[in-house]
Amino acid sequence: MKNSFKQKVAQAPQFGLWLALADHYSAEISAGAGFDFLLLDGEHSPIDLRTILGQLQAIAAYDVAPVVRPPTDDPVLIKQLLDIGANNLLIPMVETAEQARTIVASTRYPPLGFRGVGSGIARAARWGNDPEYMQTANDNICLILQIESVAGLANLEAIAATDGVDGIFFGAVDLSASMGLLGQPNHPDVIEAIDTAMGKVQACGKFAGFLSADDAISRHFLANGANFAAVGVDALLLSNAARALAHGFKQPDTVIETRGY
Ligand SMILES: O=C(O)C(=O)C[C@H](O)[C@@H](O)CO
218-242 pLDDT per residue, tens:
999 999 999 999 999 999 999 998 9
Q: How far is the CA of 107 from the centre of ligand 1 (A)?
A: 23
As beta bridge partners, residue 14 has 228
DSSP per-residue codes, 191-206:
HHHHHHHHHHHHHTT-
Helix axes 215-223, 188-203, angle to 10 degrees: 30
Pocket test for ligand 1, best of 19, 40, 44 (most atoms within 8 A of CB): 44
What are residue 72's phi and psi, to 5 degrees?
A: -145, -175
Q: How far is the CA of 45 from the centre of ligand 1 (A)?
A: 11
pLDDT tier at 11, thresholds 50, 70, 90: very high
Average pLDDT, the chain: 95
pLDDT of residue 71: 97
Amino acid of residue 78:
I
- The C-alpha atoms of residue 144 and residue 170 are separated, in whole angstroms, by 10
Domain ranges of the chain: 4-235
For 90-133, the pLDDT digits (tens) are: 999 999 999 999 999 999 999 999 999 998 899 999 999 999 99
Amino acid of residue 169:
F
Average pLDDT over residues 37-46: 97
The kind and range of the H/E element at 143 are: strand 142-147
User: For 4-235, which CATH superfamily applies?
Assistant: Phosphoenolpyruvate-binding domains (3.20.20.60)
For 193-209, the pLDDT digits (tens) are: 999 999 999 999 999 99
Pocket test for ligand 1, best of 47, 91, 174 (most atoms within 8 A of CB): 174
- The answer to whether the CB of 125 falls within 8 A of the CB of 133 is yes
Record the pTM. Answer: 0.95
pLDDT of residue 152: 98
Atom number, ligand 1, closest to the C-alpha of residue 175: 1
| ipTM of this complex | 0.95
CB under 6 Å to ligand 1: residues?
A: 41, 43-44, 146, 148, 171-174, 185, 211
Q: Residue 158, Cβ neighbours under 10 Å: how many?
A: 14
**Among protein residues, the one whose CA lies closest to atom 4 of ligand 1:** 171
Residue 252 in this model has a pLDDT that exceeds 80: no
- The C-alpha atoms of residue 32 and residue 27 are separated, in whole angstroms, by 9
Atom number, ligand 1, closest to the C-alpha of residue 92: 5
Q: How far is the CA of 88 from the centre of ligand 1 (A)?
A: 17
The dihedral formed by the CA atoms of 109, 209, 181 and 96, expressed in degrees to the nearest 10? 30
Q: Which of 258, 190, 244, 240 is nearest to 220 (CA)?
A: 190
Beta carbons within 8 Å of 192's beta carbon, 6+ residues apart: none
List active site positions: 44
